[in-house]
Structure 1
Amino acid sequence: MALAEGVRAMTSTDTHKFSILIIEDEAGPRDALKMILRPFYDLYTADNAHTAMRLLRELKIDLVTLDLKLPDRQGVDLLQDIKLEREDAEVIIITGYGSLKSAMDGIRYGAAAYLLKPFNVTELISLINQTLEKKQRLDRLRALLKTPLLHWGTESEAAESWRLLSDEYCSVAQTRRGGHIRLDEYSEFAPVLSDLLEAKSRALFNHCCRVSCYAVLLGEHLDLPAGERRALAIGAFLHDIGRVGIDEQATTRPGGLGYQTRDLLQRHPEIGARMVLPLRLPAEVGQIISYHHEQYDGSGYPYGLQGDGIPRLARIVGIAQAFDHLAMEHPALHSPQAFEEAAEQIRRLGGSRFDPSLAELFARVIADTKASIPALVTSPRSTALPKS
């Protein structure tokens, strides 16, 4: 009863009733979902991919429930189509044919959640409720990111931009304390940082989650002090925060990257470091953000540092972020082979791009843990900003 009242309260305070598209080819499960959700949402249904895409083009759909087995299109392929057509539509995969690979593919291609049949009705409604609440927050942050109100050029401009973001965030989140999130309280500001990355791009958010996991995995084999371990986890998650401060529409234009666009992208470490200055994070976090693209031989950017002149935690994150890109590009995505071969590439680049001792250790760590990595990077703790 309390859950139903919570759903009604959420839907009644919005300017529109949320719309859900149920994509399910079997009449029984489709009708069951309609019966469960009809009291709370505007519902549309499709029993094939063609109809689903037509409805997405014609209607304002807030959330999609997606079955992975369809007669005319595989579920993960349709998920990619949905996100290309309507990036702002959230997708919850509901399937009776779940596997770790399909769960990882779903996360990779932008699904908000993954639910196995048979499911608990309370669990389903709670999951939809949480997903739509988060969608509200992300939509508001995306709108603010597109305005000319945010500036990150100086520390004072960055502080004012964070105040605008926190006020906007608090207007839709249920975490308001005394009407304001304190910039000097990292534990209070952490949810804003996490949602801000996801508002920019879910792919970026997932990349940052994985990089934090890989960096922490390497850090655990280095006997780092507790303060450095915490800074490593936070800095790895925020290493690409500077991309939030860049208009990246130019990067998707036909014809490749021009010189000016490439120069802008290569400034994201210094932009990111300026962005977090007002947040009073540990100094090591700022160093990670500033230097994670520096290379051991001095050929990196933006400062051309080399060797031990690059702070050790930044060298660790540089390895972790490069490893993630290599693993995600591997033909055997999410397989132990993909992780092992990506780690071997890191080892071979030791002494040129990467610290040779760290690269060697990282390759050994991945070889020892490659079978458990898929579960590690899709676990709940890999999708949240490290706590203080």
Structure 2
Amino acid sequence: MLYFLVEPSTLRIVRGKGPTNQETPGATAYILIVDDDPIIREAIRMCVEHFGYRVREADSGEEALALLTDEVPDLILLDVRMPGINGITLCAHLKADTKTRFIPIVLLTTEGDLDARVAGLEAGADDYFTKPVHPRELAARLRSLLRLKRVTEALEHAENLIGSLALTIEARDTYTAGHCVRLATYAVQLGERLRLSTEELEALQLGGFLHDLGKIAVPDQVLMKPGPLSRDQWRIMREHAIVGDRLAGHIRTLTLVRPIIRHHHERMDGRGYPDKLAGEEIPILARIMAIVDVYDALRTRRAYKPPLEEREAIRLLREASATGHLDAALVRLFIDLRSKTFTATQ
């Protein structure tokens, strides 16, 4: 079997045995090759097709973007130096887009092009090859990255499943309709004001939906009781923070969300639950969620109370921060945000 190994100025042919289709898992995976050199594209395509993968080609970053609107690939082999949209720019764009950020991207660089490799990795590339590419290494790297992508997709599916479960829990109580969406919105707005990282903002977004995940274990007669809860009912209700944390515990993508689920009922004075954390022992994302959770509860109708006006809700938030329930500094920031938003909508 002939293998075509490519470098910018020459087409090199190397003899060797590569993997058969049977040796390659996920043989129907779709790989997009993006390179402005037709000789390089053809050589890599022949090699990749020999491994059993389905291939499409693009001769520019612009054409690659057009193909992505038609079908999302399982992996992209991307040349760094191209006219127009170069590989670094395209990589950064795809990794910033929630629809394409989990696609493995492998950069194709020339020997000694250290700056391009570093820039590509900083832009979010998953791996890189120095041309010429050896087929055995190419096959092994493709298998590894595609295997990782399948694991990531499985985790994402589990995350979406738990998110749907959380909305189902919300639907059990007609008084909390839209609660998760509002909490996610408020929490992200406050996180942006604090200039939190992208990962932390994403955790707040998810946390808005998943914070009460553990309420799946709370019986309806407790969850929707219109009057005060008994001591035993309060004990059952408080367990939802621990139950939710356990449900999310095996999903790697929820690492930053778990502290929100477990600790959004802690208090600054240490009298909250489940772990009686105090002050800055409480993770900041949980402190943010606690504030927006209390605010939304005050502003919406519940089985046991009517909705409060904005002015009264703000007064009670200030009171909660003064009595050791909520983080006073974060409450001041949130009130400032709400005052601007409320004024703008009047």
Q: TM-score w.r.t. structure 1 length?
A: 0.45
Tell me which protein shows more strand as a share of its residues.
2
